Amino acid sequence: MITQTPKEVAFRDLGRMRYKEAWDLQETVFAEAVADKIALRKAEDTSRVTRSTLFFVEHPPVYTLGKSGDFANLLLDERGLAEREIDFFKINRGGDITFHGPGQLVGYPILDLDQFFTDIHRYLRFLEEAVILTLAEYGITGGRIDGLTGVWLDGEIPEKARKICALGVKCSRWVTMHGFAFNVNTDRAYFDNIIPCGIDDKAVTTMAMDAPTAQRHRTV
């Protein structure tokens, strides 16, 4: 296992980019990382490590459905999507359906987990923790719900639980892609057209909705 240090991650802010373009970029960087990792192992070269990358991006409106997701959780047909100018893609991450759009921070970590730890569940918990710590900086208490991936507000109160960040990843040869969708000031009306993450008894929220009054100017 490659364990060289330091564990550097290249960061790139993609700005506003259509989903398919960002997905293609992810696939390219992911494939390069996997190929480089295989080549290094074959060469038994421990002087170099696979490059890891983190993309931040904001997408125009799009719904994406994970590889095991249910099409029934998309409540619009092709005409409805076209009328609202919303894209739709069936993709190769885990999880069900989610929305990406303006006012949402989407993060795509393409990481070689061999350089960190080879535990996908731990990796998901670390992504959640990063969001929870960010929320705390804005006076918002985020948390988890047992058995449900993502970050929630009031998760301990079933009737009040609201999802603020969705997660869905792919991992091959311990290299990850896809990631998280963090609702900052997203228009929640877009979520009315889906059953978010296939969970029909939980609401969706944003930082702008739940930040204390004194902090709201920092989130919009």
Active site amino acids: 197
Distance CA 84, CA 104 (A): 18
Burial of 44 (0-12, 13-18, 19+ CB in 10 A): exposed
Distance CA 90, CA 181 (A): 16
Distance CA 153, CA 142 (A): 5
Give the residue among 123, 119, 210 at the shortest CA–CA distance from 163: 210
Structure tokens at 125: 């918990």
Q: How far is CA 215 from CA 112, 137, 188, 207, 210, in A?
A: 36, 9, 20, 10, 10
Instruction: Please report, to the nearest 10 degrees, the dihedral formed by the alpha carbons of residues 201, 180, 171, 6 taken in order.
Output: -140
Three-class HEC string of 145-187? ECCEEEEEECCCCCCCCEEEEEEEEEEECCEEEEEEEEECCCC
Distance CA 170, CA 175 (A): 8
